[in-house]
Structure 1
Amino acid sequence: MNPVLIITAVPQEAGLLEQALACNALPLTIGAFTCVQGVCGTLPVTICAAGVGKINAAAATAALLGHLRPRLVINTGCAGAYAGIGLGIGDLAVADKEVLGDEGVMTSAGWLDLQQMKMPCFTKEDQQYFNEIPLSVVASEKAVHLAGRSGINLVRGTFITVSTCSGTIQQGEQLSSRFGGICENMEGGAVALTCLRYGVECLEVRGVSNLVEERNMKAWDIPRAVEAAQQFVLKYLEEMTRPE
């Protein structure tokens, strides 16, 4: 059975998941990346903390997809939620699409995206992809239904991937209104685009660690966010083992 591949940025976002693997979990090195491989119930799972940012995420995802040929990639971790979306710290968000939020050009007339530049980031058959990258509809719908049955506050919508996170209310409002985003992160678009290139289903679930406002890390709760995300991913993996 092909494994489920779970990708996070940092070990803190993967610790509970690694503990949940069966006692025969083993370290695994693929290319330049160290993973943990084991079983969750009857489901083979490989977990990799790939590093922060789009470059690490894309490199790890490409290396692991080529080696493992997983049935599903789950990208998880924490995110900053935009104001007015209905998400609070510790709540969950699932992506229906990712947006590459700072791929483009700044001109004297304003910011232009890749489509306005006529520069697709990926072309598959006759379909061109610019800043918007779709994720698995089936997987995200399963996540929404699972959250509803479990009484978990989860919002599905557009995620925005940036290299420079929003540390002001103004920047957050600008990105959210430009793309209709619900939260931002630093890796999801890279993972989603690499999965699209390889033809592998991708699910992205993140816990809200902070609201996008004037940067004040004393108001953040990263442990709560990453625990909520990991506990939900474990529920999702359990759901995958149930007969259809």
Structure 2
Amino acid sequence: MSPVIVTASTEMEVSLLISGCSALPVAGFDHPGVYRGERGGSEVIIGITGIGKVNAAYATTLLLERYTPRLLVNTGCGGAFPGSGLGVGDLAVASSESLADEGVQTPQGWRGLDLIGIPVFEKRGEKVFNEIPLARDLAEQARFDAETRGYRTALGGFLTVSTCSGTAVRGTEMLQRFPGICENMEGGAVAQVALIYGVPFLELRGISNLVEDRDFRRWNLQLAVTNAQQFLLTYLDNLNARQQ
């Protein structure tokens, strides 16, 4: 059976997955760090990509060239936008991913890649500019599973940025570009590579903070990544039964 690949930007975001899958390092990957284990009868490949879109895309491409997964999962922490209903420690599941700061700053304001007219992906007449569609069934099932296990969870659009929104004003500006519930720095890149390779993709993040005027005292990175990983371990436990 084909493996499941899980990616995250830092070791902290996958450390519980590595131990929970009894995963060991895979030789031949200097960057990213790659681990191979098993959970619930599924082979699991875990990749630590590094921060940002370039690292995420590079690492994901390496993994998809080496392995042919039945599912690619991107996880980690993220910031929840006002109005999402999410708080610190809750889970966010992506229904879409938007490359939220790639476009053109015009005298009339920011515009997306459609203004340039060059898509980031094009195949059989489908053109993708900023917003990358994701598999709705995978996302809805993950949200249902998380809620069933007692996690407060929301499903909605994710915004991937190169510069995190450290003010409430900036967060409002980003939501005017694309509707969303969660901001992150890698998911859109991983989603774009998954689209190119035709691999089913799921993104789930623990909320470490709200998108507001930056106040690290209100953050809880450990709670966010712990909840996301603990849920993913139970998700992997039941994946084979769900896909039969």
TM over 0.5, shorter chain = yes
CA distance in 1, matches of 2:116, 2:160: 19
Name structure 1 gaps, 5 residues minimum: none
Which residue of the partner structure matches residue 204 of structure 2? 205
Which residue of the partner structure matches residue 226 of structure 1? 225
Which residue of the partner structure matches residue 17 of structure 2? 17
Which string of whole-angstrom CA distances, capped at 9 and with x for unpartnered residues, describes residues 152-177 of structure 1?
11100000000000011000011123
The within-5 A match list for 1:1-244 is 1-22=1-22, 25-30=24-29, 32-242=31-241, 244=244
The code of the aligned residue for 2:215 comes to N
Deviation of 1:31 after TM superposition, in Å, equals 6.8
The code of the aligned residue for 2:193 comes to T
Which has the higher mean CA deviation after the structures are superposed, 180-189 or 114-123? 114-123
SS of structure 2 residue aligned to 1:181: coil
The code of the aligned residue for 2:148 comes to R
CA distance in 2, matches of 1:144, 1:223: 21
Which string of whole-angstrom CA distances, capped at 9 and with x for unpartnered residues, describes residues 105-147 of structure 1?
1112211101122121110111000000011222112102212
CA distance in 1, matches of 2:187, 2:229: 16
CA distance in 1, matches of 2:107, 2:219: 35
The alignment's TM-score, normalised by the length of structure 2, stands at 0.96
CA RMSD of aligned residues (A): 1.3
Name structure 2 gaps, 5 residues minimum: none
The alignment's TM-score, normalised by the length of structure 1, stands at 0.96
SS of structure 2 residue aligned to 1:138: helix
The code of the aligned residue for 1:71 comes to R
Contact 2:40–2:239 (8 Å) recurs in 1: no
SS of structure 2 residue aligned to 1:6: strand
CA distance in 2, matches of 1:84, 1:148: 19
The code of the aligned residue for 2:7 comes to I
SS of structure 1 residue aligned to 2:26: strand
CA distance in 2, matches of 1:64, 1:107: 38
CA distance in 1, matches of 2:171, 2:189: 20
Aligned length: 243
The code of the aligned residue for 2:9 comes to A
The code of the aligned residue for 1:60 comes to A
CA distance in 1, matches of 2:71, 2:165: 30
CA distance in 1, matches of 2:56, 2:114: 23
Identical residues among aligned pairs (%): 46
Which string of whole-angstrom CA distances, capped at 9 and with x for unpartnered residues, describes residues 160-217 of structure 1?
0000000110000111232111110000000000000000000000000000111111
CA distance in 2, matches of 1:146, 1:48: 24
Contact 2:41–2:237 (8 Å) recurs in 1: no
Change (3 A) 1:126 1:114: same
